[in-house]
Amino acid sequence: MTTEMFNFEENMVDICLKLLDRSLNYYDNPAKDARSRSDPIYVGRVITAMHCSVFRCGPASVKAVLEGHTDFKYDVPFVFAEVNADCIDWTVTDDGKKVRISSDTKRVGKFISTKRVGSRQREDITNTYKHPEGTDKERRNFVFATTRDYSRPEEMYEEIEEEDAGEVTTEEPGSGGTDEGATSEPLPPVTIRFKEVSRLINGKDVNLKLVLQSQSSDTRPLSIHISVQAMKYYGVPAGKILTEDKEETLLPGKVLSIPIVIPFSAYHRLMVENESMKVTAVITDKGDGENRYLATHDIVLMDPPISITAPAQVRLNALASGDVIFTNPINKTLTNCKMTFSGAGLFRRDIDCKPEEMYEEIEEEDAGEVTTEEPGSGGTDEGATSEPLPPVTIRFKEVSRLINGKDVNLKLVLQSQSNDSRPLSIHISVQAMKYYGVPAGKILTEDKEETLLPGKVLSVPIVIPFSAYHRLMVENESMKVTAVITDKGDGENRYLAMHNVVLMDPPISITAPAQVRLNEVTYGEVTFTNPINKTLTNCTMTFSGAGLFKKDLDFEIPDVLPNKSAHVKYHFAPYKKGVKTVIADFDCDSFRDIKGTCTVNVTE
């Protein structure tokens, strides 16, 4: 099950316990692990170890972090360092010498956030972990955290100032990222920033500009080293994308704009599994090699567009369908494609769907066809026309109600606006479809030879017997009827029409009192009549309902003869107030998930 906000299903405890059963602690010693699960600290550390490799973080007192009590359990020193650390940038020269470029006290510990209660919005909680940067309280608590002594803060301030002496750090805002430029006396100020030339979309080349401006009255020959790295979501480099060296001259009072292009071909392999790129520019003043400047810029690529549609309103336990469209944005065939669908209360598990499987048969038979959609009755009909043929309309018509257990009767209706008779070859195939759109098996195929007269309607009957579809439709949700129509006068001209058939369940009757009392045993009844000329075997009835049944209630039912009814009496003791729904689910060898529902109002 995919966990989402507000998703507190009644079996959530079982899900959590199953997660704990996957921990290294459980595999090492299941009995000891189970005994320790009454300790929330133990459980918290096991869970963090599972998503942070073998490293464990937490729990830690937020107030202790705020006040600098780094001697408190369990991971206060680590969390304190996380929110109060300074970032020092170094470069390594060709001879291996490390040169300190800048020190930034503000980069770490900003925008500490959590999810706002009852909302998908972010809530900033930075001030609960640290006092505002640079304030007296923040400095005082920092001294206490590192010395455990409030009595000599002045001495500690002096040590900090000595460490940072001579370092002047300036930050320049970048577009969509963080840019830092560091200047060191006696050089005049230099501003360094990145500019995004176009929208940053995954699948397209990334175009940036490195913009430098000098307030000096002298010309500055510069050596510029640019590197681009892929970054993991927790800030660790995942690999180098490209490096580039440039020699430029910065004129006094002028703006120097240096283009940076990161081709999709250079970044796509590393960015499949990673979240962002970091562009770093190290600029050396060739007049004095000891003077270096640094600028960094974080790039988060936008996803290519994907379109998903579904009905705005659907009914409980009724099949609904939607559509997803994704267009390949690159000049390369996408392989190993998969679409995963999830949603609390909609899917019992994540559904993986491979697009190439969906229309495999159609693509083999009708590759290159252009398909247009024509409205049909109760389904989706697509008709394809190709010049220079006159327009042809193709649609399906449902002759009777489509009920599981009965033969399906359709008509394929064609009409020509041509002045000539059209001899046609019609190939009809019917497939069972899984609920996520993948064919489950072939039900029937049929070939017909017909003539479409000018100005006339040609109606071709299609009958899908229950005996042909019932085996495959026990486990599947719908049928797809496909008609491929070939003009025999010109075999290259084909038309395609498709129609989705969703069968209605046979009727099932469920009754229960409209009003019931909390924790009081209540009775109801379900009746199901066998709609087919065959005995139903291996029959079961399952009852469920949030707030009514603490677990599913199963009944085994004797075989049901043709045209005979099965009657099941059930009982429940509601344990939650409000309007609740009783769900009855009938299964047998010939049918699956025949559901009936009724509502009850539970009061005290």
Contact criterion met (CB below 8 Å) for 472 and 482? no
| 186-210 as b/e: b if 16+ CB within 10 A | ebeebbbbbbbeeebebbbebebeb
Distance of CA 566 to the CA centre of its chain: 44
pLDDT, residue 496, reads 81
Q: What is the pLDDT of residues 87-101, one digit of tens each?
A: 887 777 777 777 777
The rounded distance, in Å, linking the Cα atoms of 314 and 6 is 20
User: SS3 for 540?
Assistant: strand
- The annotation status of 387 as a binding-site residue, yes or no, is no
The amino acid sitting at 384 is: A
The rounded distance, in Å, linking the Cα atoms of 122 and 186 is 43
The amino acid sitting at 33 is: D
The rounded distance, in Å, linking the Cα atoms of 441 and 432 is 5
- The annotation status of 323 as a binding-site residue, yes or no, is no
Q: What is the DSSP string of 279-300?
A: EEEEEEETT-TT-EEEEEEEE-
The amino acid sitting at 114 is: T
- The annotation status of 133 as a binding-site residue, yes or no, is yes
* Among candidate residues 519, 508, 509, the one with its CA nearest the CA of residue 548: 519
Q: What is the pLDDT of residues 304-331, one digit of tens each?
A: 888 898 888 888 888 888 888 888 888 8
Q: Which domains does the chain have, with CATH numbers?
A: 12-51 (no CATH), 166-303 (2.60.40.10), 361-501 (2.60.40.10), 508-603 (2.60.40.10)
Q: Which residues pair with 292 in a beta bridge?
A: 284
How many other CB atoms are found less than 10 A from the CB of residue 243? 11
Contact criterion met (CB below 8 Å) for 228 and 277? yes
How many other CB atoms are found less than 10 A from the CB of residue 326? 14
The rounded distance, in Å, linking the Cα atoms of 582 and 509 is 12
- The annotation status of 86 as a binding-site residue, yes or no, is yes
Contact criterion met (CB below 8 Å) for 239 and 230? yes
Low-confidence ranges of the chain (pLDDT < 50): 1-6, 54, 157, 160-184, 357-387
